[in-house]
Amino acid sequence: MSTLDVARKDFLDVRRAKIVWFVGALYTLFMLLLVYFGQNNRPDPSILNALWNLTAVGAMFIPLIALVTAYLSIAGERESGAIKYLLSIPNSRTDVVLGKFVTRTAVVSASILLAFLIGGALTLAWYPSPEMDTFALMAALTVLYALTYVAVAIAISAATASRSRAMGGSIAFFFVTSVLNVFGPLQLAIDYLLNDLAGLEVSVNQIMFVQSLISPTAAYVNATGLAFPDGFNTIPPDLPWFLQGETMLVVLLAWLAVPLALGIWQFQRADLG
């Protein structure tokens, strides 16, 4: 067998996980509500406002979709003992990690793209200026954002030997990088550590960059400047290069590649008993 063989077998398991489709359906529902209310009873509606609000919704819901889909991908099979069968077929441990990543990537991407396809169709029907280029860019950025959390969840799952530890690690990562980021404490904590404790006199923009290195959610929100016009809503028109959308893309790609590599490394070293 190979990576693709592992992925095909794993797809049969993950597609039966009702919680995955439930969370994905909630995101689709939010998409429909934002697109609908964005044009309802408005003389000149703009889909840009709906997409901007969707970014805030996605910052919380996309990590949930990704983590719920992937956090038990390997840890669950290690706890049940099924991982020994999977490795005896034979598959390498790298094949297992990459195969699980391919499967969970396909499921998460399909869930998000379906939401954007439905939202895009309604946008074409309801909005005089549908801004489909912005719509497509937001869809691509959102999928990439989701895949960073899939990679993290796979890494956590590969590094843990039980369901409870995988769940605990995923919840902790979600809380720190998404919840604390969205509601503000993460930025305040970075400011306190760098400026108050270390006395470095770090600027707000530099704190935002550090925040993006710590949190895929912060990198995703900053990367949306690629999709929206300069200065739209709260996007500053004169961001430094390290907060530009292109730089945030590199950060998001690093958040995808590095955890996956660490997950492979940890799984290769794991004692499977």
Closest CA to 77 of 270, 219, 208, 247: 270
> DSSP state, 226?
G
Cis bond before residue 90 (omega within 30° of 0): yes
29-58: pLDDT as tens digits = 988 998 888 877 777 788 888 888 888 888
- Domain ranges, residue 147: 3-269
207-265: pLDDT as tens digits = 999 999 999 999 999 999 888 887 776 777 778 899 998 999 999 999 999 999 999 99
Q: Taking the model in full, what pTM does it have? A: 0.92
Question: How many structural domains is the chain composed of?
Answer: 1
Question: What is the dihedral sign for C-alpha 75, 78, 80, 83?
Answer: positive
